[in-house]
């Protein structure tokens, strides 16, 4: 189902409004933008992802500024039909936390939802990945920035475009161009599901 240009749920927030929100948010000093990818395919998938969004908002030094639509996607990196389908979304945050602390918080959120790491690309209740942190480019094996596989994952790029239509992935190019290059097979928007932006 194609949304019309007048649909307010997919319109970018005007820069003037974003500036006013940021100026009014006195809890953050010199915040940095970051994009995080959320996903899960075990348990109540939507509830788990919403819980992750809320937990990020409850983090001192983090404010959730935008959430994408919800997408259902085929599992990535595994044989077909060996796992349930995923729900995926992207959130944009402003944060005063350094990348390492944001990663610690992301992992704490995963643990709170009983994320179990038994195999690479295994099924999980919720996954919280830092896609980009400002324009930082880092080869640190603990936290590589941007995320080293973001450019080849439609389940990251498609929802990211929902919230930042002109987004760029540092070192790789425009997100719209990257998505066009890999296509959107195996990913479908779930019009019946919606994530709430925290108050």
- Going by DSSP bridges, is the β-strand pair 62-67/32-40 parallel, antiparallel, or unpaired? unpaired
- Pick the catalytic residue: 63, 69, 124, 153? 124
- Pick the catalytic residue: 63, 69, 129, 153? 129
129 is catalytic: yes
Torsion over CA: 1, 92, 36, 178 (sign)? positive
- Pick the catalytic residue: 63, 127, 153, 162? 127
CB 92 within 8 A of CB 166: no
115 is catalytic: yes
Buried b (16+ CB within 10 A) or exposed e, 84-103: eebbbbbbbbbbbbebeebb
CB 133 within 8 A of CB 150: no
127 is catalytic: yes
Q: Which residues contact 13 (CB under 8 A, 6 or more apart)?
A: 66
- Pick the catalytic residue: 63, 115, 153, 158? 115
Catalytic residues: 115, 124, 127, 129
């Amino acid at each position: 189902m194609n949304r019309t240009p007048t649909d307010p749920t997919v319109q970018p927030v005007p820069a003037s409004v974003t500036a006013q929100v940021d100026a009014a948010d006195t809890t953050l000093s010199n915040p940095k933008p970051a994009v995080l990818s959320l996903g899960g395919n075990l348990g109540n998938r939507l509830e788990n992802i919403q819980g992750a969004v809320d937990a990020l908002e409850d983090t001192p030094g983090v404010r959730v500024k935008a959430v994408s639509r919800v997408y259902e996607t085929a599992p990535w990196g595994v044989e077909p039909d060996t796992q349930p389908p995923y729900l995926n979304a992207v959130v944009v945050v402003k944060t005063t936390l350094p990348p390492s602390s944001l990663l610690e918080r992301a992992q704490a959120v995963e643990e709170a939802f009983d994320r179990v790491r038994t195999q690479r690309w295994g099924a999980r209740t919720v996954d919280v990945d830092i896609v980009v942190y400002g324009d930082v480019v880092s080869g640190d094996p603990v936290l590589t920035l941007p995320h080293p596989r973001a450019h080849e994952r439609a389940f990251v790029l498609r929802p990211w475009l929902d919230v930042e239509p002109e987004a760029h992935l540092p070192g790789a190019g425009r997100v719209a161009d990257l998505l066009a290059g890999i296509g959107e097979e195996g990913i479908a928007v779930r019009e019946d599901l919606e994530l709430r932006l925290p108050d």
